[in-house]
Amino acid sequence: MRCDTTMNNHTYGYIVMKRLKNAKRNLNLDADIVAYASHQAIANKLKHYILTTYFKPGIKDILNTSNLSLLITKSEIKLPSKYQSNIAQLDNYYSNCRYPSPLYEDIELHTAQTLFHSAKDIVDIINNRIILNDIAHLKRNWDDNNANPFPANLIEKCANLISQLEVQPFISPTACGAIQMEYEKENGDYLEFEVYPERIEVYQVINNIEHEETLTSSNYLNEVKQIVSDFLKCNPSKD
């Protein structure tokens, strides 16, 4: 399937949502549809990112490919290592099939389901990279109250963080010069990181108990990963 290079980034974004919905509808029915749609969701989200982030020589050739490994390399997005095998499986599936009639034995349904969930996670990571790119391009007074733009080292720090997180946070800029990342559970538990170039302020509320701390070490990636993991695993107290 060759991509029409005249499509704009909004078109790619629409295709991503359409592919994911199609995969979800067939999640327990048709492994081939799920695998194909998962592959195309990632491919089009990467193209969406490339178009919204920068222009590079040969971009038409990039947009005409559906090889995920190549698109990831060209986008310069770092993904958690656990997704490498999923990307390879999806590329292998796509290169050996002609949707909707694969040229070889159908992919196992449970394998396709795993690839779909990985595809959703990867799309979430790329979505946050697009948000970070938007934040990086904010100019002085972006909030109409004299807020400063965000330095490149802070954007890079946040990009490194989201590339390591298995569950993506909601990201937003703040007028105080930090980029905020937050998680919230249905029961009201809340976790927030205010990321500055030199530190990370952590605030969380679990079972109505507040806790604050500041991370300043060079090991902040592992510290944040552990805090997020503990927060997501934490079960609400039962009365």
**Confidence at residue 59, expressed as pLDDT on a 0 to 100 scale:** 72
- Average pLDDT over the chain, rounded to whole? 87
pTM over cut 0.75: yes
Q: What is the pLDDT of residue 236?
A: 60
Query: Looking at per-residue confidence, does 6 or 227 come out higher?
Result: 227
Q: What is the CA radius of gyration of the chain?
A: 20
Q: How many CA atoms lie within 13 A of 51 on its CB side?
A: 19
Determine the average pLDDT of the residues in 32-39.
91
The yes-or-no verdict on residue 68 having pLDDT over 90 is yes
Confidence (pLDDT) at 106 = 63
**CA distances (Å), 193 to each of 40, 99, 121, 157, in order?**
32, 43, 20, 13
Tell me which of 97 and 150 has the higher pLDDT.
150
